[in-house]
Amino acid sequence: MTVFLWNAFTFVVALGLLVTVHEFGHFWVARKNGVLVKRFSIGFGKALFSWRDRQGTEFVIAAIPLGGYVRMLDERIDPVLPQFADLAFNHKTVWQRMAIIAAGPAANFIFAIFILWLMYLIGVQEAKPVIAAVQPQSIVAEAGVHDNEQIVSVNGHNARDLRSTNLLLVEQLGRPRMTLGLQDVGSGRQRQVELDLSDWQFDPEQQTVFASLGIKLMQPEATTELALVVPESAAERAGLQKGDIIRRIDGQQITDWPMLERLIQQNAEQTLLLEISRSGQSLELEATPELLTREDGFTQGMLGIQPVVTPWPEGIVYTQRYGVIGAISEGVSQTWQLTRLSFAMVAKLLTGDVSVKHLSGPISIAQGAGDTASMGLIAFLAFLALISVNLAVINLLPLPILDGGHLMYLVVELIRGKPVSEKAQEIGFRCGALVLLMLMGIALLNDISRL
């Protein structure tokens, strides 16, 4: 319950902040263009708090924190007295209306730049994408990639750290080939290799993009040595101690922590024979994992142990920190990369290169908000920047119910010299709402299936 409440709280904070930024963009540009804003609402439904400013705008915080809106004076919706006609949205020029509509997504882009600027002023810990091992007969092995090489570019784009490299690799989904720039860690010699992606299979729910290509990175690893035995746990009752190294379970050799963890989770309330090393001596112990029921209703085995985690290899981790001007440049660059990736993912959904089963909804976003907030300020800020860019990109899609759809109608009006008929707009809004509801439904079902 504690995890659920934390996720819900961070989700409301993150979404509320991003929606406020988005709607403030519409609000600010509308006022600058002389439009009367009747209501500025964060959330939908019953108003929890409300107040009015001197210009008559009602500011509302509503009960359902899943969006927001700015309601402007408009003759198509409200009766407007002749003396106030110049304050109505529909009486403004096409260019003014386009500016007001586009201001919401623009505000989210600017906010992402601001967040990233703040992150790089504080300092962001990054890791170099250095290859520790190449899986035999994998895509990168066939291309001739070697151990102890660092990825420095992906299709000509700079890949200086692990995070940006991950985004650049994901962006290549659906392409037949990809060029990697590599630098030998020892000699510094650089070269390029071309990867054949015709057989590339990547499922983000099952593996990382690096693993899907056959790359094992240099990074901390959980070992089979025990760093902690939880008091009064099944492990303590079995006689396990800190410093023990688990070698085998029921005669099966344990090669890594994920394998050990998987065997424990799959054998709840089943007695396991553990072969361990303790102070250089071999011992056999019997342990019975307890049955644990998670918050989502699923059950698994739990022994009550934690592994020793190796430190980062020397020279892999570094801190990126810039001055005021440099951080702005970095914020713009990172926002552009996120924007390019977001549009690319939309295109890949349409072409089928990315399956709709990978769409995420509010539950996944809430989990992401909770997880990153638990990791610290920098991780949460990075999450906010990503979601802010995604919110802007989604709103720019040419669906009539979204900002992009309104802009599409205004472009048509600009070309034709007269507005799109109200009947055509109404049909478009209904179709757009149907498509959006379908996508939201798929995303929600995906969220539920991942629980």
Among 161-175, 290-304, 374-388, which stretch is predicted with the lowest mean pLDDT? Answer: 290-304
pLDDT, position 370: 62
Q: Which CATH architecture has domain 222-309?
A: Roll (2.30)
Question: What is d(CA 303, CA 237) in angstroms, rounded to the nearest whole number?
Answer: 10
Does the pLDDT at position 313 exceed 70? Answer: yes
What mean pLDDT is predicted for residues 401-418? 88
Does the pLDDT at position 22 exceed 90? Answer: yes
Give the pLDDT band (50/70/90) at residue 8: confident
**Residue 435 to residues 43, 262, 272, 400, 432: CA-CA distances in angstroms?**
22, 40, 51, 10, 5
**Top-ranked range on mean pLDDT: pick from 38-52, 65-79, 198-212:** 38-52
Q: In 3D, which of 369, 361, 379 has the Cα closest to residue 440?
A: 361
- Report which residue type is found at 230: V
Among 171-175, 189-193, 335-339, which stretch is predicted with the lowest mean pLDDT? Answer: 171-175
Does the pLDDT at position 202 exceed 70? Answer: yes
What mean pLDDT is predicted for residues 274-279? 92
Question: What is d(CA 338, CA 180) in angstroms, rounded to the nearest whole number?
Answer: 20
Among 32-36, 267-271, 343-347, 413-417, which stretch is predicted with the lowest mean pLDDT? Answer: 343-347
pLDDT, position 368: 58
Residue 442 or residue 128, greater confidence: 128
Give the pLDDT band (50/70/90) at residue 1: very low
The secondary structure of the chain in percent helix, strand, coil, rounded to multiples of 5, reads 45, 25, 30
What mean pLDDT is predicted for residues 396-419? 88
**Residue 174 to residues 99, 156, 204: CA-CA distances in angstroms?**
35, 17, 14
Does the pLDDT at position 442 exceed 70? Answer: no
Residue 431 or residue 165, greater confidence: 165
Does the pLDDT at position 308 exceed 50? Answer: yes
Does the pLDDT at position 414 exceed 60? Answer: yes
What mean pLDDT is predicted for residues 337-353? 81
- Upper half-sphere CA count for residue 45 (Cβ side, 13 Å): 8
Point out the residues that are catalytic.
23
Q: Collapsing DSSP states into helix, strand and coil, what is residue 379?
A: helix
What mean pLDDT is predicted for residues 384-412? 89
Question: What is d(CA 349, CA 346) in angstroms, rounded to the nearest whole number?
Answer: 5
Does the pLDDT at position 129 exceed 80? Answer: yes
Pairing between β-strand 222-229 and β-strand 305-309 as defined by DSSP bridges: antiparallel
pLDDT, position 153: 93
Phi, psi dihedral angles at 170 (to 5 degrees): -60, -35
Average pLDDT, the chain: 85
C-alpha dihedral sign at 231, 232, 235, 240: positive
- CATH 2.30.42.10 positions along the chain are 124-220+312-320, 222-309
Residue 298 or residue 21, greater confidence: 21
Quick check: 143 and 195 in contact, CB under 8 A? yes
Question: Top-level CATH class of 124-220+312-320?
Answer: mainly beta
Residue percentage of the chain with pLDDT more than 70: 89
Does the pLDDT at position 363 exceed 60? Answer: no
What mean pLDDT is predicted for residues 136-147? 90
Does the pLDDT at position 219 exceed 80? Answer: yes
Q: Model-level pTM greater than 0.85?
A: no
Residue 35 or residue 346, greater confidence: 35
Question: What is d(CA 263, CA 257) in angstroms, rounded to the nearest whole number?
Answer: 10
Quick check: 60 and 39 in contact, CB under 8 A? yes
Residue 363 or residue 285, greater confidence: 285
Give the pLDDT band (50/70/90) at residue 380: confident
pLDDT, position 358: 53
Distance of CA 127 to the CA centre of its chain: 19
pLDDT, position 449: 56
Q: In 3D, which of 182, 169, 189 has the Cα closest to residue 143?
A: 182
